[in-house]
């Protein structure tokens, strides 16, 4: 086993029967590329290995800051989709 991402939150609950974690309040996730997610609610579904949120999210990368209203990602936060995207996004040609 190796660490692929780190999660910090002020509050978390594990629903063992549902194989689901719920993190709340000042949730921060950092992946191995150094990309950082900030939100107030994050759900980790162990069964389908997905992270989701329906709350406001902010993702900070090396050269951009992206805001949105909800997102979904794989459990190591290396691939993600943001809903209702806004912010400064750099497009490389």
What is the structure's pLDDT at 88? 67
Question: What is the C-alpha separation between 48 and 28, in angstroms, rounded?
Answer: 21
Using alpha carbons only, give the angle 88, 91, 92 rounded to the nearest 5 degrees.
Answer: 145
pLDDT tens-digit profile, the chain (93 residues): 566 788 899 999 999 999 999 999 999 999 999 999 999 999 999 999 999 999 999 999 888 899 999 999 998 888 999 999 987 666 667
Burial class (CB in 10 A: 0-12, 13-18, 19+), 77: buried
Q: Is the pTM of this model over 0.75?
A: yes
């Amino acid at each position: 086993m190796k660490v692929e991402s780190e999660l910090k939150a002020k509050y978390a609950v594990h629903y063992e029967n549902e194989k689901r974690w719920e993190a709340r309040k000042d949730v921060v996730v950092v992946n191995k590329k150094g990309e950082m997610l900030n939100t107030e609610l994050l759900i980790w579904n162990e069964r389908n290995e997905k992270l989701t949120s329906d709350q406001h999210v902010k993702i900070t990368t090396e050269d951009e800051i992206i805001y949105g209203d909800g997102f979904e990602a794989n459990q190591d936060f290396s691939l993600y989709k943001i809903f209702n995207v806004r912010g400064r996004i750099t497009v490389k040609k």
